[in-house]
């Protein structure tokens, strides 16, 4: 069953929200707090070890009720069932969207083209576990008999960002293996890494869903040629494995079937870290921690599927974001993890959110008349306080911000953690309260306050809580795509980039140009001169 086409702006709830916005647009959160001693009690959700306080938003109970009506009117509930049930919700590619099946513990079959996919998923997971154990234990040795010490993930976009983010985020849980990532086709990037590698003790994991991506294949070929300067062809089998849906192309590259970890077209690249795309992470943290990551996501999935909208963290987060994006006209939103391990979380989520919801055509094939895709950005606190926070506090733009923090640090340094978290709480308080005008106070030192924030306070950064956190944002973006009436799971913009570069490369290689626009022709001539 295709997703319904419902123009959100034509719903009764949207019309009511429009009228309601006129009352709320100049509301002051300080007044809302003063008028209701129960505000925080009402506007927070506790789930497992997550606390989500959304009381510091420019919303009333009526706002939330209307936003939930909007979710109901666009048939979010049945869309969620389709999402988890294998409906072809990636309609423009005629595919299901089932990264959730990769972490599912359900035994009831999940069907794609009439076939249960759970047994295949289990088989690949078992293969990953056995392979990871043999590398970690040293049983699998390189071509000179030495154990593997370094793993290099060769991939880009969805085949890089997730594992690279996790390698940082789960550093505390890693074993002795060093993990590196090669993504950019920039040859200097490859050379800098190769300088540090020992071919005898390095394993290369080539990750490409399609196995046609220019960057990944070029990097893989360069690295294989480098490897063959030290070793011989049969040694490739001990040092190169691949993750892909395109088994034929992987074999053509020279990788034997037993060294291929399959994935499937119902896993979108930007949601693929839960599949064999996460192999380098499974190696770095070991299969048990990798399984915990999946479990955390599965717990979030189950909660998202079953909790009523008003108690449903991903739904409430999505609705708040829509409130600011579509009614207040907020241009961007920020995300600030108070945790250095999460330094790559925002770039990772940027891909998921902006590639998924950066769409201008609705599910009816017509251009939409409302704003879609949020622009998300951010860096860890407290570093970002010393950088761009000035603009959030005193600039002219409204930037709703998520603050993500943890009650405990991993090494237990209380002095540092208390200081870190006092900054975390102080910022949301300052953004709410501001510093009002006062006699003798310079106008440059006035802060208006009334800047909306969400606070997500989690007990501890573990593979489980991280899995749940990532899934929370995956579901938030899903809800937004449903409400905006767009297809979140295709990426034609990325495909265009892949085509364009290939055609210009032909010109460069032939040093002879096909017609381009005047500026591009001028630049290419300069490049070739």
Calculate the dihedral angle through the C-alpha atoms of 361, 364, 366, 370, rounding to the nearest 10 degrees.
Answer: -60
Q: Given the rule CB under 6 A, which of 157-165, 231-239, 314-322, 518-526 is the region that contacts ligand G6Q? A: 157-165
Is residue 210 at the binding interface for ligand G6Q, with CB under 6 A as the rule? Answer: yes
Collapse the DSSP code of 95 into the 3-class scheme (helix H, G, I; strand E, B; otherwise coil) and give the result.
strand
Active site residue 189: no
Active site residue 22: no
Q: Given the rule CB under 6 A, which of 263-271, 288-296, 317-325, 341-349 is the region that contacts ligand G6Q? A: 263-271
> What is the footprint of ligand G6Q within residues 482-521 (CB under 6 A)?
491, 494
CA-to-CA distance for 505 and 499, rounded, in angstroms? 10
Collapse the DSSP code of 332 into the 3-class scheme (helix H, G, I; strand E, B; otherwise coil) and give the result.
strand
Is residue 194 at the binding interface for ligand G6Q, with CB under 6 A as the rule? Answer: no
Of the candidates 3, 5, 8, 90, which has an alpha carbon nearest to the alpha carbon of residue 323? 8
Mark residues 43-72: x for contact with ligand G6Q by CB under 6 A, - for none.
------------------------------
Taking the least distance from each CB to ligand G6Q, the nearer of 218 and 383 is: 218
Q: What's the min distance (Å) between Cβ of 155 and ligand G6Q?
A: 6
Cβ atoms of 75 and 1 closer than 8 Å = no
- Residue from 209, 224, 451, 476 in contact with ligand G6Q (CB under 6 A): 209
Q: Given the rule CB under 6 A, which of 189-197, 205-213, 221-229, 459-467 is the region that contacts ligand G6Q? A: 205-213
Q: Which helix (DSSP H) or strand (DSSP E) does residue 294 occupy?
A: helix 287-306
- Residue from 87, 158, 162, 314 in contact with ligand G6Q (CB under 6 A): 158
Mark residues 65-104: x for contact with ligand G6Q by CB under 6 A, - for none.
----------------------------------------
- Residue from 55, 63, 183, 208 in contact with ligand G6Q (CB under 6 A): 208
Taking the least distance from each CB to ligand G6Q, the nearer of 272 and 428 is: 272
Q: Given the rule CB under 6 A, which of 15-23, 51-59, 203-211, 324-332 is the region that contacts ligand G6Q? A: 203-211
Residue among 146, 419, 460, 498 flagged as catalytic:
498
Residue among 176, 195, 386, 414 flagged as catalytic:
386
Q: What's the min distance (Å) between Cβ of 225 and ligand G6Q?
A: 20
Which residues are bridge partners to 402 per DSSP? 335, 454
CA-to-CA distance for 319 and 300, rounded, in angstroms? 18
Q: Given the rule CB under 6 A, which of 37-45, 128-136, 202-210, 434-442 is the region that contacts ligand G6Q? A: 202-210
Q: What's the min distance (Å) between Cβ of 330 and ligand G6Q?
A: 25
Cβ atoms of 172 and 341 closer than 8 Å = yes
Is residue 153 at the binding interface for ligand G6Q, with CB under 6 A as the rule? Answer: no
Q: What's the min distance (Å) between Cβ of 334 and ligand G6Q?
A: 23
Assign 3-state DSSP to the chain and report helix, strand, coil percentages, each to 5: 55, 10, 35
- Residue from 100, 153, 159, 259 in contact with ligand G6Q (CB under 6 A): 159
- Residue from 270, 344, 359, 393 in contact with ligand G6Q (CB under 6 A): 270
Cβ atoms of 474 and 355 closer than 8 Å = no
Q: What's the min distance (Å) between Cβ of 161 and ligand G6Q?
A: 7
Which of left, alpha, beta for 113 (phi over 0: left; psi -120 to 50: alpha)?
left
Cβ-Cβ contacts under 8 Å for 316 (sequence gap 6 or more): 45, 52, 54, 64, 309, 310
Is residue 125 at the binding interface for ligand G6Q, with CB under 6 A as the rule? Answer: no
> What is the footprint of ligand G6Q within residues 302-361 (CB under 6 A)?
355
- Residue from 142, 269, 362, 405 in contact with ligand G6Q (CB under 6 A): 269
CA-to-CA distance for 83 and 87, rounded, in angstroms? 6
Active site residue 386: yes
- Residue from 163, 199, 268, 481 in contact with ligand G6Q (CB under 6 A): 268
Cβ-Cβ contacts under 8 Å for 56 (sequence gap 6 or more): 29, 428, 431, 432, 452, 453, 454, 455
Cβ atoms of 380 and 338 closer than 8 Å = yes
In Å, what is the CA distance from 150 to each residue of 131, 181, 197, 200?
Answer: 15, 11, 8, 10
Q: What's the min distance (Å) between Cβ of 400 and ligand G6Q?
A: 25
CA-to-CA distance for 514 and 182, rounded, in angstroms? 32
Mark residues 211-240: x for contact with ligand G6Q by CB under 6 A, - for none.
--x--x------------------------
CA-to-CA distance for 367 and 359, rounded, in angstroms? 9
Is residue 157 at the binding interface for ligand G6Q, with CB under 6 A as the rule? Answer: yes
In Å, what is the CA distance from 180 to each residue of 276, 299, 352, 460, 492?
Answer: 17, 30, 22, 26, 29
Collapse the DSSP code of 523 into the 3-class scheme (helix H, G, I; strand E, B; otherwise coil) and give the result.
helix
Residue among 215, 291, 333, 355 flagged as catalytic:
355
Give the residue numbers marked as catalytic: 355, 386, 498
Binding region for ligand G6Q (CB under 6 A): 156-159, 208-210, 213, 216, 268-270, 355, 491, 494
């Amino acid at each position: 069953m295709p997703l319904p086409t419902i123009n959100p702006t034509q719903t009764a709830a949207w019309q009511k929200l429009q009228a309601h916005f006129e009352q709320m647009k100049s509301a002051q959160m300080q007044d809302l707090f003063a008028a209701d001693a129960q505000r925080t009690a009402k506007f927070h959700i506790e789930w497992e070890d997550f606390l989500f306080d959304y009381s510091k938003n420019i919303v009333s109970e009526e706002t939330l009720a209307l936003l939930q009506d909007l979710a109901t009117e666009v048939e979010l509930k049945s869309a969620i069932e389709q999402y988890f049930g294998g409906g072809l919700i990636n309609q423009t590619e005629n595919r299901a969207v089932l990264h959730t099946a990769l972490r599912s513990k359900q035994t009831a079959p999940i069907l794609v083209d009439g076939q249960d996919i759970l047994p295949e998923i289990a088989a690949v997971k078992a293969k990953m576990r056995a392979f990871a154990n043999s590398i970690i234990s040293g049983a699998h040795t390189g071509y000179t008999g030495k154990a593997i010490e370094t793993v290099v993930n060769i991939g880009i976009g969805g085949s890089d960002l997730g594992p690279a983010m996790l390698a940082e985020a789960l550093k505390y849980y890693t074993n002795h293996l060093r993990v590196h990532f090669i993504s950019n086709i920039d040859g200097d990037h490859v050379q800098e890494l190769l300088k540090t590698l020992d071919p005898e003790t390095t394993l290369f994991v080539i990750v490409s869903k399609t196995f046609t991506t220019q960057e990944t294949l070029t990097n893989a070929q360069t690295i294989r040629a480098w490897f063959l300067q030290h070793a011989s062809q049969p040694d490739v089998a001990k040092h190169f494995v691949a993750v892909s849906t395109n088994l034929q192309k992987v074999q053509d590259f020279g990788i034997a079937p037993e060294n291929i970890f399959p994935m499937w077209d119902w896993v979108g690249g930007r949601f693929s870290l839960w599949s064999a795309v996460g192999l380098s992470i499974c190696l770095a943290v070991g299969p048990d921690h990798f399984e915990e990551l999946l479990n955390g996501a599965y717990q979030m999935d189950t909660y998202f599927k079953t909790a009523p909208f008003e108690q449903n963290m991903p739904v409430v987060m999505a609705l708040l974001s829509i409130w600011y994006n579509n009614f207040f006209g907020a241009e961007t939103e920020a995300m600030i993890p108070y945790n250095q391990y999460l330094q790559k979380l925002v770039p990772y989520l940027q891909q998921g959110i902006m590639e998924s919801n950066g769409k201008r055509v609705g599910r009816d094939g017509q251009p939409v008349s409302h704003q879609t895709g949020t622009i998300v950005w951010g860096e860890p606190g407290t570093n970002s306080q010393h950088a761009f926070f000035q603009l959030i506090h005193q600039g002219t733009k409204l930037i709703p911000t998520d603050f993500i923090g943890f009650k405990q640090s991993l090494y237990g340094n209380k002095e540092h953690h208390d200081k870190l978290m006092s900054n975390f709480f102080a910022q949301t308080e300052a953004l709410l309260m501001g510093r009002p005008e006062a006699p003798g106070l310079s106008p440059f030192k006035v802060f208006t306050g009334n800047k909306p924030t969400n606070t997500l306070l989690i007990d501890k950064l573990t593979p489980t809580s991280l899995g749940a956190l990532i899934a929370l944002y995956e579901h938030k973006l899903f809800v937004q795509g449903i409400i905006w009436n767009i297809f979140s799971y295709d990426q034609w913009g990325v495909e265009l980039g892949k085509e364009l570069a290939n055609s210009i490369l032909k010109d460069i290689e032939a040093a002879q140009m096909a017609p381009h626009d005047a500026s591009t022709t001028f630049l290419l001539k300069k490049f070739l001169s």
